């Protein structure tokens, strides 16, 4: 099995393998193992092979597009033309968009072959992929455990070698956290760095699109392709996109790394803390400077996020009424149709967040909850701004512990929300972050280190992650399936 992008491109360029043969090998792999993992909601073999045949013709004509003939997977919250897009929700079961999201279209323009759509917590609301309206994805390292969420399907697909690359989305940690649980590289872009056009909204001021790969170089390469300004997205940033791969080998000598005391807390799994501290020590051995720092408002990030994100979700999900698209449950009265459609179509977690958000926005409570949360969000952002005046990047654990058992936290929403406690602050601040594998615990479960960078400084976090990756062997391990 060809596992990473560099190998894939070399094989295609040298014509050791055709795009059709390569695509078929991944389709065979999906058929072989996805019955156990359930990473995909929809596999599109006919479309994939047709795209592969088109890629082979372009290769024969001398075309050298950066993803030409490379298979990819796409999280099912991104619109894909003529391919079902459900957001993991029964309320959108059968919905087929008539256009591609910008990030998807950029991959297609670069020659990518879409294998299918990956599973997700419903409307990207969750930390385990157990909230999918269809089924739970399983962690390839231990199928009794979750892959993380909400981009659990994409992370699991890459970890299980069902795709060399995948797109995910990150609202509060939904790329980085499953990247950590599944032992793959995962990049959260800065807010506005990648167009959100075609991304079905959860929380509009927080949603970002990110990439998964087996290596830092692979994930950085895909990010470079999908990043950039887009007139179709009013929040898109009109700034030049650097070549993230070009600077990967610049090393970390003299780089100032901040280690925040608030991210090493009681209740963390000791092996996780030990692995991350060892990873930071490795970066120091490579020439980086380590500085203890403080991000004092970190403790408010969880409560701030779970006011802002549900409030925005409440507004965004009001459109799902069964009239314009998706499933419709017809009743005699219009309001009964709305209630039945939404009651049957939405799962428990989505309903919980809609109610939380509606309450936070309601008359008499807006200033006390949503308004105050926005003020605290500003303080969290200022923490990062102040820190980046003295350090170049920040290193932390990605999660407090490795992947938990399926069903272990299903009846305790607070414990589930705490799985994102280390990823939420960067999301609220709008800055970029990357997960890089940095060890395994005694149960042979992956542990990840999070590297956070200033706004639009994806190049520096990729460079630091690459330096660490090249000095270690963790990324070379694969689950035994």
Cα R_g (the chain), whole angstroms: 21
**Rounded to 5°, angle at Cα 227 from 26 and 452:** 95
- Pairwise CA distance, residues 383 & 261, whole Å: 13
Q: Which of these is catalytic: 38, 75, 188, 381?
A: 75
| Cα distances (angstroms) measured from residue 66 to each of 122, 182, 244, 402 | 32, 26, 14, 34
> Helix or strand or coil: residue 238?
coil
Q: Is 253 a catalytic residue?
A: no
The position carrying tokens 């290193």 is 395
Q: How many residues does the chain have?
A: 481
The position carrying tokens 């950029």 is 106
Q: Is 75 a catalytic residue?
A: yes
The position carrying tokens 């993991």 is 88
Burial bucket for residue 188 (CB in 10 Å: 0-12, 13-18, 19+): buried
Helix axes 102-109, 216-226, angle to 10 degrees: 110
Q: Which of these is catalytic: 128, 174, 190, 314?
A: 174
Joined together, the tokens standing for residue 131 give 């909230």
Alpha helices by DSSP H, listed for 160-300, are: 176-182, 216-226, 270-285
Joined together, the tokens standing for residue 345 give 């179509």
Joined together, the tokens standing for residue 76 give 């099912």
Looking at residue 250, what DSSP letter applies? G
Nearest alpha carbon to residue 453 among 255, 229, 261:
255
Q: Is 150 a catalytic residue?
A: yes
Q: Which of these is catalytic: 89, 132, 150, 195?
A: 150
Q: Are 29 and 162 in contact (CB under 8 A)?
A: yes
| Cα distances (angstroms) measured from residue 69 to each of 35, 64, 214, 349 | 25, 10, 18, 38
| Cα distances (angstroms) measured from residue 290 to each of 165, 285, 322, 342, 435 | 32, 10, 54, 51, 19
Burial bucket for residue 99 (CB in 10 Å: 0-12, 13-18, 19+): middle
| Number of other residues whose CB lies within 10 A of the CB of residue 240 | 8
Task: Tell me the CA end-to-end span of the chain in Å, nearest whole number.
Answer: 12
- Pairwise CA distance, residues 257 & 464, whole Å: 10
Which active-site residues does the annotation give? 75, 150, 174
């Amino acid at each position: 099995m060809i596992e990473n992008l560099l190998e894939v491109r070399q094989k295609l360029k040298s014509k050791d393998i055709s795009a059709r043969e390569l695509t078929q090998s991944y389709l065979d792999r999906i058929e072989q193992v996805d019955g156990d993992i359930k990473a995909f909601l929809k596999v599109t073999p006919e479309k994939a092979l047709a795209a592969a045949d088109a890629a082979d013709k372009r290769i024969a004509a001398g075309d050298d597009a950066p993803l030409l003939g490379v298979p990819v997977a796409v999280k099912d919250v991104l619109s894909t033309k003529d391919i079902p897009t459900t957001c993991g929700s029964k309320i959108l079961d059968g919905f087929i968009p008539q256009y591609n999201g910008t990030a998807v279209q950029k991959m297609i323009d670069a020659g990518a072959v879409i294998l299918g759509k990956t599973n997700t917590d419903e409307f990207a609301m969750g930390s385990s992929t157990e909230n999918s309206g269809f089924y739970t994805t399983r962690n390839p390292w231990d199928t009794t455990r979750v892959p993380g969420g909400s981009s659990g399907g994409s992370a699991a697909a890459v970890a299980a070698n069902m795709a060399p690359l995948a797109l995910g989305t990150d609202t509060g940690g939904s790329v980085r956290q499953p990247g950590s649980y599944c032992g793959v590289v995962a990049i959260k872009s800065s807010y506005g760095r990648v167009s959100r056009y075609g991304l079905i909204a959860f929380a509009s001021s927080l949603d970002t699109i990110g990439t998964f790969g087996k290596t830092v170089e692979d994930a950085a390469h895909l990010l470079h392709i999908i990043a950039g300004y887009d007139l179709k997205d009013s929040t898109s940033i009109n700034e030049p996109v650097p070549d993230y791969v070009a600077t990967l080998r610049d090393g970390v000598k003299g780089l100032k790394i901040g280690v925040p005391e608030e991210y090493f807390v009681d209740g963390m799994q000791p092996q996780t803390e030990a692995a991350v501290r060892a990873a930071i020590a490795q970066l120091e051995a490579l020439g980086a400077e380590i500085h203890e720092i403080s991000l004092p408002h970190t403790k408010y990030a969880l409560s701030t996020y779970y006011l802002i994100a549900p409030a925005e979700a409440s507004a965004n999900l009001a459109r799902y009424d069964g009239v314009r698209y998706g499933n419709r449950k017809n009743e005699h009265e219009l309001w009964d149709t709305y209630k039945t459609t939404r009651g049957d179509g939405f799962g428990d977690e989505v309903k919980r967040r809609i109610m939380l958000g509606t309450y936070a926005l309601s008359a008499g409570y807006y200033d006390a909850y949503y308004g105050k949360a926005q003020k605290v969000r500003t303080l969290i952002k200022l923490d990062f701004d102040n820190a980046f005046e003295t350090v170049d990047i920040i290193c932390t654990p990605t999660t407090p512990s490795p992947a938990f058992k399926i069903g272990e936290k299903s009846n305790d929403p607070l414990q589930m929300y705490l799985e994102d406690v280390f990823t939420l602050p960067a999301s609220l601040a709008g800055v970029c972050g990357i997960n890089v594998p940095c060890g395994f615990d005694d149960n042979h479960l992956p542990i990840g280190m999070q590297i956070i960078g200033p706004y639009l400084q994806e190049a520096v976090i990729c460079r630091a992650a690459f330096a660490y990756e090249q000095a270690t062997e963790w990324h070379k391990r694969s689950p035994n399936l």
